[in-house]
Chain A
Amino acid sequence: MKYALLCYNDEAAVFSWTKEEDEAVMARLNIVHEKWEKAGKLKPSIRLLPTSAATTLRKKDNEVLDGPYAETKEQLLGFYIIDVDSLEEGLEFARELTAANPGGAYELRPIMIYNEGAR
């Protein structure tokens, strides 16, 4: 069984870390990553850019919003990783998904670190 492991934390605090603090956290995390990667149980891992870089396509009305999707009455049901040339192209992809799928929203969050894992 594969799982998506989603990380939550206070973004305001995380992005206030100094370079040293950030590196220290990453170093500690990397020890865990390596262990699970060696066991063949860690697939791609991803660190996202802050929500200020997010754009949301609300499926209702096909409306595009600057900013993250923060509606709490709907839950995260899955996610894609896409490799597109521009935000516009990403939105196009999301619009096609929208047409195929009623309700909800798609949030486009640029990726900060993309680790293939299990190389």
Chain B
Amino acid sequence: MGDLAWIDAALVSARPQAVAALLRYFRDLDLAEEAFQDACLRALKNWPTNGPPRDAAAWLIMVGRNAAIDVTRRRAKQTALPDEGTLSDLSDVEEAVVQRLDEADYRDDVLRLLFICCHPDLPATQQVALALRIVSGLSVQQIARAFLVGESAMEQRITRAKAKVAGAGVPFEAPGAAERAERLASVMAMVYLVFNEGYSAADPASDRASLCDEAIRLGRLLLRMYPSEPELMGLLALMLLQHSRLAARFDAEGNPILLDDQDRTLWKRAPIQEGLALIDKAMRSRKPGPYQIQAAIAGLHAVADTPAETDWAEIDGLYAALEQHSPSPVVTLNRAVAVSKLRGPEAALAMIAPLAERLDKYFYFHGMRGAMLKELGRTKEAREAFNQAIALANTPAEAAHIRQHLDSLAQIK
């Protein structure tokens, strides 16, 4: 039996539940992780011969717990570990554990784990790093590569985050309903942060792009725990719809391709279908929120076979709803794109004019202003806007994109 991929997949998917339960038991992040690693090693030895256990998470929790207890005990006096043969035939004990660790326990454990990573004292970058390390089990090296920082810097960031969590006395009790709702919001924000970290990567083949898959996996996990939460459906739908365009978003040089210019045959159908199905489901609850609205906007783009078929009126309406729900100049800026399609660039320019001061340092503001001015034939002003944008570009790809605009202006002249 050479193919151990199934064990790998089972370990990855059981990880959040198992680490969370071990954390509840040991109340120590490092010890919980160590215990889980130990259990994984045993699983690799044991499962190929004995077959997979009925509940992988429960098996790992029990074996991990025993191993860790043994380690601590052995430090006091020498006790032999039970051999692999005894460990393998755990079905009776396993059943008892499964009963104790029912769904309700799992879900609060995982939520607690995610919440610990979302500790308000930690800066967002540390929250994300900690979550990827603890919940997803990505290696420090993988995370470092994804965030384009050195491995030792990332190691430090995670260690510091752990120390802060340990020192802050995070409560381990099951959260109440109100608390849980509050935590869920910050956990969702963190998952979306992970997603965006991957989404903004220029190279679809890079480690950063795989962060999108990880965020989607976490989204699915959360939705399994809260199957009736419409904002969670919205979040997962939003990530699926955005990620479906991955193959079309960049050209061979890694430069971004605008939505209008993307080859829509490269959009992946399965995540689009899933995203649309989730939006459909979420809408039934009639509790719209920012993730649902953004997902609905992404959904309207996804169902248009050509840019001309895009339902801009509906998108404009959704942005209006989003402006009302969570007003921000960036939302208004995005709405202006729909407005320019519906009522022309002049109307869009009027709409974003009041934002000039607040978005003065924002790349997209000047980029979009430039595009509108260019469309109106106000070449000189367009060039000024593009020059401002280029100065604020965050990546070489963004700068290259604006340069294309400038080049096309040069041709007009």
Could you tell me which A residues sit within 8 Å of B by CB distance?
Answer: 10, 12-18, 21, 49-53, 55, 64-68, 86-88, 110-113
Task: Tell whether, in the assembled complex, residue A16 and residue B9 are in contact, meaning their CB atoms are under 8 Å apart.
Answer: yes
- Report A-chain residues with C-beta under 8 Å of the C-beta of B273: 49, 110-112
Determine which residue in A10, A51, A52, A65 has the highest number of CB atoms from chain B within 10 A of its CB, and name it: A52
Which one, A10, A17, A53, contacts B281 given CB within 8 A?
A: A53
- Report B-chain residues with C-beta under 8 Å of the C-beta of A65: 227-228
Task: Tell whether, in the assembled complex, residue B220 and residue A52 are in contact, meaning their CB atoms are under 8 Å apart.
Answer: yes
Which one, A14, A53, A68, contacts B274 given CB within 8 A?
A: A53
What are the 8 A-B residue pairs with the smallest beta carbon separation, nearest first?
A67-B227, A12-B13, A110-B277, A87-B280, A66-B228, A13-B9, A52-B223, A53-B277
Which one, B10, B12, B213, B281, contacts A87 given CB within 8 A?
A: B281
Task: Tell whether, in the assembled complex, residue A16 and residue B217 are in contact, meaning their CB atoms are under 8 Å apart.
Answer: yes
B window 211-231: CB within 8 A of A: 213, 217, 220-221, 223-224, 227-228
Asked if B168 is at the interface of the complex by the 8 Å CB criterion, the answer is no
Determine which residue in A53, A64, A86 has the highest number of CB atoms from chain B within 10 A of its CB, and name it: A53
- Report B-chain residues with C-beta under 8 Å of the C-beta of A86: 280
- Report A-chain residues with C-beta under 8 Å of the C-beta of B5: 21
Could you tell me which B residues sit within 8 Å of A by CB distance?
Answer: 5-6, 9-10, 12-14, 56, 213, 217, 220-221, 223-224, 227-228, 233, 236, 270, 273-274, 277-278, 280-281, 284-285
Which one, A13, A15, A52, contacts B227 given CB within 8 A?
A: A52
Q: Determine how close the nearest CB of chain B comes to the CB of A111; give it in whole angstroms.
A: 8
- With A13-B9, A16-B9: A66-B274 Cβ-Cβ less than 8 Å: no
Task: Tell whether, in the assembled complex, residue B220 and residue A15 are in contact, meaning their CB atoms are under 8 Å apart.
Answer: yes
A39–B152 Cα gap in the complex (Å)?
A: 59
- Report A-chain residues with C-beta under 8 Å of the C-beta of B233: 52, 66
Q: Determine how close the nearest CB of chain B comes to the CB of A13; give it in whole angstroms.
A: 4
- Report A-chain residues with C-beta under 8 Å of the C-beta of B278: 52-53
- Report B-chain residues with C-beta under 8 Å of the C-beta of A49: 270, 273-274, 277
Q: Determine how close the nearest CB of chain A comes to the CB of B299; give it in whole angstroms.
A: 12
- Report B-chain residues with C-beta under 8 Å of the C-beta of A67: 227-228
Task: Tell whether, in the assembled complex, residue A110 and residue B274 are in contact, meaning their CB atoms are under 8 Å apart.
Answer: yes
Q: Give the residue name and chain of the A residue nearest to B270 (CB).
A: A112
List 13 A–B pairs whose Cβ atoms lie within 8 Å, in order of A's numbering. Answer: A10-B56, A13-B6, A13-B12, A13-B13, A16-B12, A16-B217, A18-B213, A51-B224, A52-B227, A53-B281, A55-B284, A68-B227, A88-B284
Q: Determine how close the nearest CB of chain A comes to the CB of B272; give it in whole angstroms.
A: 11
Q: Determine how close the nearest CB of chain A comes to the CB of B3; give it in whole angstroms.
A: 10
- Report A-chain residues with C-beta under 8 Å of the C-beta of B224: 12, 51-52
- With A10-B10, A16-B12, A67-B227: A50-B281 Cβ-Cβ less than 8 Å: no
Q: Determine how close the nearest CB of chain B comes to the CB of A113; give it in whole angstroms.
A: 7
Q: Determine how close the nearest CB of chain B comes to the CB of A41; give it in whole angstroms.
A: 26
A116–B194 Cα gap in the complex (Å)?
A: 38
- Report A-chain residues with C-beta under 8 Å of the C-beta of B217: 15-16
- With A50-B220, A67-B228: A87-B6 Cβ-Cβ less than 8 Å: no
- Report B-chain residues with C-beta under 8 Å of the C-beta of A17: 9
Task: Tell whether, in the assembled complex, residue A52 and residue B228 are in contact, meaning their CB atoms are under 8 Å apart.
Answer: no
A112–B14 Cα gap in the complex (Å)?
A: 24
A64–B227 Cα gap in the complex (Å)?
A: 12
Q: Determine how close the nearest CB of chain A comes to the CB of B67; give it in whole angstroms.
A: 23
A113–B220 Cα gap in the complex (Å)?
A: 19
Task: Tell whether, in the assembled complex, residue A13 and residue B10 are in contact, meaning their CB atoms are under 8 Å apart.
Answer: yes
Q: Give the residue name and chain of the B residue nearest to A112 (CB).
A: B270
A111–B341 Cα gap in the complex (Å)?
A: 34
- Report A-chain residues with C-beta under 8 Å of the C-beta of B9: 13-14, 16-17, 21
Task: Tell whether, in the assembled complex, residue B13 and residue A16 are in contact, meaning their CB atoms are under 8 Å apart.
Answer: yes
- With A15-B220, A52-B220: A10-B277 Cβ-Cβ less than 8 Å: no
Determine which residue in A10, A66, A87, A88 has the highest number of CB atoms from chain B within 10 A of its CB, and name it: A66
Task: Tell whether, in the assembled complex, residue A64 and residue B284 are in contact, meaning their CB atoms are under 8 Å apart.
Answer: yes
A53–B273 Cα gap in the complex (Å)?
A: 10
A37–B213 Cα gap in the complex (Å)?
A: 33
Q: Give the residue name and chain of the A residue nearest to B214 (CB).
A: A16
Q: Give the residue name and chain of the B residue nearest to A17 (CB).
A: B9
- Report B-chain residues with C-beta under 8 Å of the C-beta of A13: 6, 9-10, 12-13
Q: Give the residue name and chain of the A residue nearest to B6 (CB).
A: A13
- Report A-chain residues with C-beta under 8 Å of the C-beta of B228: 65-67
- Report A-chain residues with C-beta under 8 Å of the C-beta of B280: 86-88
